[in-house]
Structure 1
Amino acid sequence: MVTRRDFIRGSGVNVAATAAVITAAVGTSAVSRVAMAALPEPVSQTSAATQGPLMPPDGRPYDPVVTLNGWTLPWRMVDGVKEFHLVAEPVVRELAPGMKAHLWGYNGQSPGPTIEVVEGDRVRIFVTNRLPEHTSVHWHGQRLPNGMDGVSGLTQPAIPAGKTFVYEFVARRPGTFMYHPHADEMTQMAMGMMGFWVTHPKRDGARTSHPLIDRVDRDFCFLLSAYDIEPGSATPKIMTMTDFNLWTWNSRVFPGIDSLNVRLGDRVRIRVGNLTMTNHPIHLHGHEFSVTGTDGGPTPVGSRWPEVTTDVAVGQMRQVEFIADEEGDWAFHCHKSHHTMNAMGHAVPTMIGVDHSGLAGRIARVVPDYMVMGERGMADMAEMTMPLPDNTLPMMTGTGPFGSLEMGGMFTTLKVRRDQKPGEYGDPGWFQHPAGTVAREWTGSLAEPVRAPATSATTTTPNASTTPTQPVTPAVELKARKPSGHAGH
């Protein structure tokens, strides 16, 4: 892995030597001689751990974001231009301990690194294509010259395999954006090609210069993506439209998604982008938040109201903010229940209430590893010890301080602590609940519910003052007959 230190040091290398090394990989028709000489070293990252915020070493100041299970791409300043280098390439991404996926991404990871700039920055992004086919990069939500929009065939020629193109524009407005290909999208986005982009507002001393954007203590971001990877395999099925079995945040599934660790009283911002094939109602426990921004920019104050769930549709960004004023380990997840499970088989029949007595033993004589599933619900899945195929995950997994969490997919926790230091993002461990504040078993007596005898039930007509009550007619089985003679309807 090339480190950030190596990257910054690379800005002082001999220009002629750099140009000679890269000439073979860079299309001269795509990049000028001056741009080639200035091409920055690519920086790569393979760790799936959340990296700390990248404090700006040069350029305009800003308050950096923390990319959940990701990182921010370093840059260098050249004559007042902020330069980045993205490398589109095949990558191996650990979705959670025990499972890795063969994806496509940028700079060693899927999703690619977050790009952070400041309103008014002139930005130059070199994109090197190491994929087996052509690609492009669309800067989703940006105001820019049409020829920099990244739609292959429409606004630019596609970037051929082995070539490098350069994009250059001014970050004209602050907000929450993303980048992804606009070339063979069905394949490239299904394989994990995407990344986050944050344009910070200009600073005016201790305040931002934007009337609708406040400074926050913690600023997190992640992208929603989905994959269909059969147990035992590693490459997504790109033809899948709806039947995905792995729902991810930054190409990670629970229990591989890091917690969001904040200090009691912090003002927290969370930015979410959706590049899956369906919407996701993102739900936070224990707090209310307001939607303060979209990919269209900050929302007017009059349009904000308290929520605990916000729906993020396909291709949308949502930016939410709240005060972390309740200590604890609070669940944070997509509220579609199938999206908080892993490697889920959708053709499994519902067996609740089916008596398996003796059946499992007979089947086991033919299928030795057979186990009864689902006759009492699916919670047993979290406790099963059935051998899994290589390179897959349990459908329901994770262990908390009180036992199995029975979760997967798009799930993590917001950990709020009064002793978490400002700027400290480390996991503080499980919350120590004050005495008497945990739900517990009731061992006292319970009153029997009052029930009306079925034989004495009565019904009353609307005019009860003049009409006597009538006995309830005994229930009868409803029988229906399908009419005939309607063929072709």
Structure 2
Amino acid sequence: MNHLSRRAFLQGSALAVSAGAVSRIAAASLPEAVTQTQAGTQPPLTPASGRPYQPVVTLNGWTLPWRMNKGVKEFHLVAEPVLREIAPGMKANLWGYNGQSPGPTIEVVEGDRVRIFVTNKLPEHTSVHWHGQRLPNGMDGVTGLTQPGIKPGKTFVYEFTARRAGTFMYHPHADEMVQMAMGMMGFWITHPKDPSFMRVDRDFVFLLNAYDIEPGAATPRVNEMTDFNLWTWNSRAFPGIDPLVVRQHDRVRIRIGNLTMTNHPIHLHGHEFVVTGTDGGWTPPAGRWPEVSADIAVGQMRAIEFDASEPGDWALHCHKSHHTMNAMGHEVPTMIGVDQSSELKKISQLIPDYMVMGDKGGSMGEMEMPLPDNTLPMMGGQGPYGSLEMGGMFSVVKVRAGLARNDYRDPGWYRAPAGSVAYEWQGAAAYLPSAGGSRPAAPAASPSSKETVVNVVKPAAHKH
């Protein structure tokens, strides 16, 4: 639980802070505002107080701790500017909560009385809407309709009972075009009273969000409505998105919320799943069917579940192909089949780093090309057999036998059994027993590594 700003995080695992005298009116003693700056996936937080539940794992995120005060769970959210690493080599100036965008996941149990203090450190007013919750109208967080805006420097208190189990989100209902485009959002999990209900072995959550950040820049263009160039999970783009590590034969749940401006068909390789939950609650068993892709519309959440029966490294990604790319340009002409050799010679005299692109196709995974500072390549990340040629909304579900129950460490790349990897055809003679031939061995994977390799060459300085 690295980089938490709280003193030893109460010896590392305790979630409960000693109860203090908290006035609902004056908020004389606020819960400590815990912050997190590390971009990696943090371990699940096992509850040390309150009713038991199985905690979730937030992909490239964390869970917000609380204190118990006379039977009420108290949280402290701080809306503030944050610096978020989108992937190694790029950071963005965003707005979020408690040091990160998205903000921390909030976990409670059905029937819990919850009190959330929200402090505004933004340069404008804000609010928090608890997306999908049943609560008193005055706690719904819609600026101008159910409450006044929270002015800069002020703290508001939201208090209600978590009435039903499910997966929810939180985000502003104040200057939404700016605040959500800057990354203000988070997940809320209400666990069932009965810990055995809908129990799974591993439970992951993450939000879909998107940004328009021009190459070389660090702040999103908040007025963009359609042409985003960074498609992210929890404000991370591949190769900066962590893998989802599971033990073979685990029952796995993945909860995905969409707060972008378009739908996303999320596709899992190697397994079929069923949709077991939406924002509105659990889907009845009789109404489920097997799928390998689930389309998640704007403002929706889907919880998918599957049995991780097949070992390997299985891709999980949005199936819109331009959503698995980074720093996309939308006005690039198609140059397939166009001979650019004469132009290359002329342009290279003026721009030594110039490269011909697109004459044989769009693959740029192996290219080393100049990029502005703080800009990701369109495709990045090295796999065991070379460039993955992916970016954006892409990760890997790593299914391994023999993992410990709560082991979420990256096990490295999968080492496929001999004879189980696609191979190059070398002609029929090579496979004829009479000719002494035999099926060639599958290529060996490169050594396992937890380091992501991105081939980026920064432009050299030229004298003018």
Give the superposition deviation at 1:301.
1.0
- For residues 227-281 of structure 1, what are the alpha-carbon distances to aligned partners after superposition, in whole Å with 9 as ceiling and x for unaligned? 0001111000001011000000000000000000000000000000000000000
Give the superposition deviation at 1:164.
0.0
Tell me the TM-score normalised to structure 2 length.
Answer: 0.89
- Per the alignment, do residues 189 and 9 of structure 1 end up closer, same or farther by CA in structure 2, a change over 3 Å counting? closer
Tell me which residue corresponds to 2:25: 32
- Per the alignment, do residues 119 and 12 of structure 1 end up closer, same or farther by CA in structure 2, a change over 3 Å counting? closer
Give the superposition deviation at 1:156.
0.4
- Per the alignment, do residues 9 and 312 of structure 1 end up closer, same or farther by CA in structure 2, a change over 3 Å counting? closer
Give the superposition deviation at 1:369.
2.2
Give the superposition deviation at 1:10.
9.1
Structure 1 gap ranges (5+): 20-30, 209-213, 447-489
Tell me which residue corresponds to 1:412: 395
The answer (yes or no) to whether the contact 1:65–1:219 under 8 Å persists in 2 is yes
User: 3-state DSSP class of the match of 2:10?
Assistant: helix
Aligned with residue 240 of structure 1, among 206, 211, 224: 224
Tell me which residue corresponds to 2:340: 356
Taking the aligned partners of 1:182 and 1:335, their CA distance within structure 2 comes to 30
Q: Does 1:120 align with 2:116?
A: no
Identity percentage of aligned residues = 73
Aligned with residue 5 of structure 1, among 7, 10, 29: 10
Give the superposition deviation at 1:378.
1.2
Tell me the TM-score normalised to structure 1 length.
Answer: 0.84
Which amino acid in 2 is paired with 1:216? V
Give the superposition deviation at 1:13.
8.3
Taking the aligned partners of 1:115 and 1:14, their CA distance within structure 2 comes to 21
User: 3-state DSSP class of the match of 2:138?
Assistant: helix
- For residues 47-86 of structure 1, what are the alpha-carbon distances to aligned partners after superposition, in whole Å with 9 as ceiling and x for unaligned? 0010000000100100000000000000011111000000
The answer (yes or no) to whether the contact 2:136–2:160 under 8 Å persists in 1 is yes
The answer (yes or no) to whether the contact 1:420–1:428 under 8 Å persists in 2 is no
Taking the aligned partners of 1:96 and 1:275, their CA distance within structure 2 comes to 20
Taking the aligned partners of 2:16 and 2:283, their CA distance within structure 1 comes to 40
Tell me which residue corresponds to 1:220: 204
Tell me which residue corresponds to 2:147: 156
Give the superposition deviation at 1:357.
2.4
Taking the aligned partners of 2:86 and 2:210, their CA distance within structure 1 comes to 11
Taking the aligned partners of 1:152 and 1:271, their CA distance within structure 2 comes to 28
Give the superposition deviation at 1:11.
3.8
- For residues 282-308 of structure 1, what are the alpha-carbon distances to aligned partners after superposition, in whole Å with 9 as ceiling and x for unaligned? 000000000000000000111100000
Taking the aligned partners of 2:396 and 2:98, their CA distance within structure 1 comes to 28
Which amino acid in 1 is paired with 2:10? R
Q: Does 1:391 align with 2:384?
A: no
Taking the aligned partners of 2:203 and 2:133, their CA distance within structure 1 comes to 20
RMSD of Structure 2 on Structure 1 (CA) = 1.6
User: 3-state DSSP class of the match of 2:346?
Assistant: helix
Aligned with residue 268 of structure 2, among 284, 288, 293: 284
Which amino acid in 2 is paired with 1:343? A
Matches within 5 A, 1:134-173: 134-173=125-164
User: 3-state DSSP class of the match of 1:199?
Assistant: strand
Taking the aligned partners of 1:407 and 1:86, their CA distance within structure 2 comes to 34
- For residues 7-63 of structure 1, what are the alpha-carbon distances to aligned partners after superposition, in whole Å with 9 as ceiling and x for unaligned? 969944875xx99xxxxxxxxxxx613xx1341010000000100000001001000
Tell me which residue corresponds to 1:374: 358
Tell me which residue corresponds to 2:194: 203
Which amino acid in 2 is paired with 1:178? M
The answer (yes or no) to whether the contact 1:283–1:334 under 8 Å persists in 2 is yes
The answer (yes or no) to whether the contact 1:10–1:40 under 8 Å persists in 2 is no
- For residues 331-362 of structure 1, what are the alpha-carbon distances to aligned partners after superposition, in whole Å with 9 as ceiling and x for unaligned? 00000000000001111111011011222011
Give the superposition deviation at 1:366.
2.5
Which amino acid in 2 is paired with 1:301? P
Q: Does 1:435 align with 2:440?
A: no
Taking the aligned partners of 2:397 and 2:374, their CA distance within structure 1 comes to 28
Aligned with residue 88 of structure 1, among 50, 74, 79: 79
Which amino acid in 1 is paired with 2:5? V
Which amino acid in 1 is paired with 2:140? D
- Per the alignment, do residues 137 and 423 of structure 1 end up closer, same or farther by CA in structure 2, a change over 3 Å counting? same
Taking the aligned partners of 2:124 and 2:309, their CA distance within structure 1 comes to 50
- Per the alignment, do residues 108 and 6 of structure 1 end up closer, same or farther by CA in structure 2, a change over 3 Å counting? farther
User: 3-state DSSP class of the match of 1:126?
Assistant: strand
Tell me which residue corresponds to 2:258: 274
Q: Does 1:326 align with 2:310?
A: yes
Taking the aligned partners of 1:198 and 1:242, their CA distance within structure 2 comes to 30
Taking the aligned partners of 2:68 and 2:153, their CA distance within structure 1 comes to 26
Aligned with residue 341 of structure 1, among 325, 333, 343: 325
Which amino acid in 2 is paired with 1:414? V
Tell me which residue corresponds to 1:56: 47
Which amino acid in 2 is paired with 1:194? M
Taking the aligned partners of 1:303 and 1:353, their CA distance within structure 2 comes to 50
Taking the aligned partners of 1:350 and 1:10, their CA distance within structure 2 comes to 58
Tell me which residue corresponds to 1:132: 123
Give the superposition deviation at 1:6.
7.8
Which amino acid in 1 is paired with 2:25? S
Taking the aligned partners of 2:243 and 2:213, their CA distance within structure 1 comes to 25
The answer (yes or no) to whether the contact 1:101–1:234 under 8 Å persists in 2 is yes
The answer (yes or no) to whether the contact 1:10–1:41 under 8 Å persists in 2 is no
Tell me which residue corresponds to 1:314: 298
Which amino acid in 1 is paired with 2:219? T
The answer (yes or no) to whether the contact 2:15–2:49 under 8 Å persists in 1 is no
The answer (yes or no) to whether the contact 2:20–2:69 under 8 Å persists in 1 is no
Taking the aligned partners of 2:276 and 2:15, their CA distance within structure 1 comes to 38
The answer (yes or no) to whether the contact 2:15–2:66 under 8 Å persists in 1 is no
Taking the aligned partners of 2:204 and 2:369, their CA distance within structure 1 comes to 37
Which amino acid in 2 is paired with 1:105? G
- Per the alignment, do residues 10 and 302 of structure 1 end up closer, same or farther by CA in structure 2, a change over 3 Å counting? closer
Structure 2 gap ranges (5+): 430-464
Taking the aligned partners of 2:77 and 2:131, their CA distance within structure 1 comes to 16
